[in-house]
């Protein structure tokens, strides 16, 4: 078997079931959208929710450019940023990693490490919380709280997760009210410091977890006095903790899964 003409090395990591590929930016084409889509394909590619293309930065440890599974570019992923920090920590003894994202510089503080499992708290910046916004869907009207964490979110409080929540979330995500699309969070309040969330993300669809989505869900719950900081955000992929004191701090795990090569 002759070797392929082009090989792209990658490292795969997961943060609460939200999985990403970390790839050196020297392997990125001028427009990484189509290649990112191919890499993320779970049948014909490696499989991931997104690709973090990594470049040198003068004002950070690394600059990360994030592309979603459908090839669209996103400002930031909280979980993806933790995966980038874990990737860098594997090769250096560092307690803090600064990642330059499309939403600014994010400082990741290492809180624990055991083999390939890491935990970080990220300073996510100050959120922007809007007033409750009604959105008319084909079958009904929903009401949610717009929150920006450097990327857009729409948080809906529910008593339980309806069987059709994914299709309604997809409809919200492409609604004309949101020109750039939006990430959707459905949230149930369990207690003052515990909420449960489901995530439907731009360019990906349903995900097992979301870092910025957990922040948005917690911030909306605190802003509407349904919860108090710190808030534990429970999702199918795991639990993250959000503190809101001026800016938002996100704490959770990231695990390095494997490394490999993608053949073009």
Write the pLDDT tens digit of every residue in 143-200.
Answer: 999 999 999 999 999 999 999 899 999 999 999 999 899 999 999 999 999 999 999 9
**Predicted pLDDT of residue 93:** 85
Average pLDDT of 35-44? 98
Axis crossing angle, helix 211-223 with helix 78-89, rounded to the nearest 10? 130
Q: Residue 4: pLDDT band by 50, 70, 90 thresholds?
A: confident
Q: Residue 2: pLDDT band by 50, 70, 90 thresholds?
A: low
Burial class (CB in 10 A: 0-12, 13-18, 19+), 253: buried
Using the predicted structure, report yes or no on whether residue 127 has a pLDDT greater than 90: yes
User: Domain segments of the chain: what residues?
Assistant: 7-125+252-263, 128-245
CATH number for region 128-245: 3.10.310.10
pLDDT tens-digit readout, 80-93 = 999 999 999 998 88
What superfamily does domain 7-125+252-263 belong to in CATH?
Diaminopimelate Epimerase; Chain A, domain 1 (3.10.310.10)
Share of the chain above pLDDT 70, in %: 99
Q: Do domains 7-125+252-263 and 128-245 have the same CATH topology?
A: yes
**Predicted pLDDT of residue 5:** 73
Pairing relation of β-strands 141-148 and 128-129?
antiparallel
**Predicted pLDDT of residue 3:** 65
The distance of Cα 151 from the centroid of its chain, to the nearest Å, equals 10
């Amino acid at each position: 078997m002759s070797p392929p003409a082009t090989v792209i090395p990658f490292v795969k990591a997961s943060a609460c079931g939200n999985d990403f590929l970390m790839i050196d930016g020297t392997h990125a084409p001028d427009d990484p959208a189509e290649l990112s889509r191919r890499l993320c394909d779970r049948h014909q590619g490696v499989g991931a929710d997104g690709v973090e293309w990594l470049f040198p930065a003068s004002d950070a440890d690394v600059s990360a450019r994030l592309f979603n599974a459908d090839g669209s570019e996103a400002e930031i992923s909280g979980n993806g940023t933790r995966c980038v920090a874990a990737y860098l920590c594997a090769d250096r003894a560092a307690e803090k990693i600064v990642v330059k994202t499309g939403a600014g510089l994010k400082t990741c503080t290492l809180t624990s490490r055991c083999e390939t499992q890491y935990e970080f708290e990220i300073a996510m910046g100050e959120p922007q919380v809007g007033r409750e916004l009604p959105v008319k869907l084909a079958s009904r009207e929903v009401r949610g709280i717009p929150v920006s964490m450097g990327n857009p979110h729409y948080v809906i409080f529910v008593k339980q997760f309806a069987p059709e929540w994914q299709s309604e979330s997809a409809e919200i995500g492409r609604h004309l009210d949101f020109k750039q699309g939006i990430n959707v969070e459905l949230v149930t309040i369990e207690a003052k410091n515990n909420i449960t969330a489901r995530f439907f993300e731009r360019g990906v669809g349903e995900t097992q977890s979301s870092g910025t989505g957990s922040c948005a869900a917690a911030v909306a719950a605190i802003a509407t006095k349904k919860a108090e900081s710190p808030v534990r955000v429970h999702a199918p992929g795991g639990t993250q903790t959000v503190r809101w004191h001026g800016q938002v701090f996100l704490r959770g795990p990231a695990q390095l899964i494997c490394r490999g090569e993608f053949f073009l």
